[in-house]
Amino acid sequence: MTSTTAEPSMSLDAETMRKGYARPEVLVTTDWLAAHLDDPSIRILESDEDVLLFDTGHIPNAQKVDWHADLNDPVVRDYIASEKFEELLRSKGIDESTTVVFYGDKNNWWATYAFWVFQLFGFTNARILDGGRTKWEKEGRPMVTDVRTFPPTGYRAPRREDSRIRAFREEVLEHMRAGRPLIDVRSPEEFSGQRTHMAEYPQEGVLRGGHIPGARNVPWARAANPDGSFKSAEELRQLYERDAGLQKTDDVVAYCRIGERSSHTWFVLSYLLGYDRVRNYDGSWTEWGNSVRAPIEK
């Protein structure tokens, strides 16, 4: 659902413009956010891997979105239904006229995941804080522990539409058989089958290691700078096009373990490089690696 209400001034600073992105307006800088903390048309949402991190300190006026409890259905392996998404946004004072700025820990990987889930509901008035929590903290900007609340809204959520930016197992199987590009954003050790999980993380039940046949390995975090911000468009083109062989006209499916790291790559390809057809396979390796007769390579 695209807002027709005027959004706050999203003037781009020289730093963002120099990076050469296809859609620079989808990012805000720490300077911009610091100047708009009290803007009544802004809602700031923090989504972290560490769901307890928000309580230790967060950007003033930020609210928490728990990727597991708030965005995932508690029973079905799927995202929340439209009525639950509606309740979530109403409770946080968000409607179509509100600009939502997402940020989080670890290069914004869960922030881009939350951004992606919002896009499933057509909520396009959304931005990512370039650098996320890491950059904000490194710059010594204010952090608070009090939690701001906002008056509830009358937001009406549309029916969730998955087909444009989400891929399911059978679609990925067809995509693989057609020889279309697959980007595996996991670590090289996971890609090769040496590991079945991220280093220093628990094994979450996948039975086989390896990757989807034909996939190219571009670990997601290579798209980020040490301060958590995104690399320039030229650096990203080197990574995805010259090194991995993608073209802007490609139909691309990205995947990882459960779709969180690949949402970061989906964001980079879709918004920063301007690819028109990128889908996130959120079933990813936890589904593929356990599926009967699903082909793998090592």
Do 234 and 176 have their domain in common? yes
Q: Is residue 6 part of a domain?
A: no
Q: Is residue 297 part of a domain?
A: no
User: In which element (H, E) is residue 83 found?
Assistant: helix 82-91
Single out the residue of 104, 113, 27 nearest to residue 63, CA to CA: 104
Do 175 and 131 have their domain in common? no
Do 128 and 183 have their domain in common? no
Domain boundary among 121, 138, 155: 138
Do 134 and 179 have their domain in common? no
Q: Are 159 and 120 in contact (CB under 8 A)?
A: no
Range of the domain at 116: 14-138
Q: Dihedral, CA atoms, 92, 95, 101, 104, nearest 10 degrees?
A: 40
pLDDT at 51: 87
Do 180 and 284 have their domain in common? yes
Q: Dihedral, CA atoms, 259, 261, 264, 270, nearest 10 degrees?
A: -50
Q: Clarify whether 50 is annotated catalytic.
A: no
Do 198 and 269 have their domain in common? yes
Q: Is residue 192 part of a domain?
A: yes
* Alpha carbons 257 and 175: distance in angstroms, whole number: 18
Q: Is residue 160 part of a domain?
A: no
For residue 28, the cross-strand partners are 129
Do 43 and 119 have their domain in common? yes
Do 126 and 189 have their domain in common? no
Domain boundary among 138, 158, 189: 138
- Tokens 């589904």 correspond to what residue? 287
- CATH assignment of the domain containing 270: 3.40.250.10
Radius of gyration of the chain (CA): 19
- Tokens 């995202």 correspond to what residue? 79
Of 218, 236, 246, 256, the active-site residue reads: 256
For residue 43, the cross-strand partners are 100
Q: Are 189 and 257 in contact (CB under 8 A)?
A: no
User: What is the number of other CB atoms lying within 10 angstroms of the CB of residue 83?
Assistant: 9
Domain boundary among 138, 160, 182: 138
pLDDT at 99: 97
pLDDT at 10: 54
Specify the length of the chain in residues: 298
Do 104 and 203 have their domain in common? no
pLDDT at 198: 74
Do 133 and 233 have their domain in common? no
Q: Are 167 and 215 in contact (CB under 8 A)?
A: no
pLDDT at 251: 98
Dump pLDDT digits (tens) for 247-287.
999 999 999 999 999 999 999 999 999 999 999 999 999 99
DSSP string for 195-236? -SS-TTS---S----SB-TT-EE--GGGGB-TTSPBPPHHHH
Q: Are 64 and 119 in contact (CB under 8 A)?
A: no
The tally of domains found in the chain comes to 2
Do 28 and 133 have their domain in common? yes
Q: Is residue 219 part of a domain?
A: yes
Structure tokens at 263: 């949402």
Q: Is residue 259 part of a domain?
A: yes
Q: Is residue 73 part of a domain?
A: yes
Q: Is residue 3 part of a domain?
A: no
* Strand order, beta sheet including 62-64: 27-28, 126-129, 99-103, 42-46, 62-64
* Alpha carbons 247 and 276: distance in angstroms, whole number: 11
Query: Where do runs of H (alpha helix) occur along 19-108?
Result: 30-35, 53-56, 82-91
pTM of the model: 0.94
Residues of the chain with pLDDT under 70: 1-12, 201-205
pLDDT at 7: 47
Q: Are 290 and 206 in contact (CB under 8 A)?
A: yes
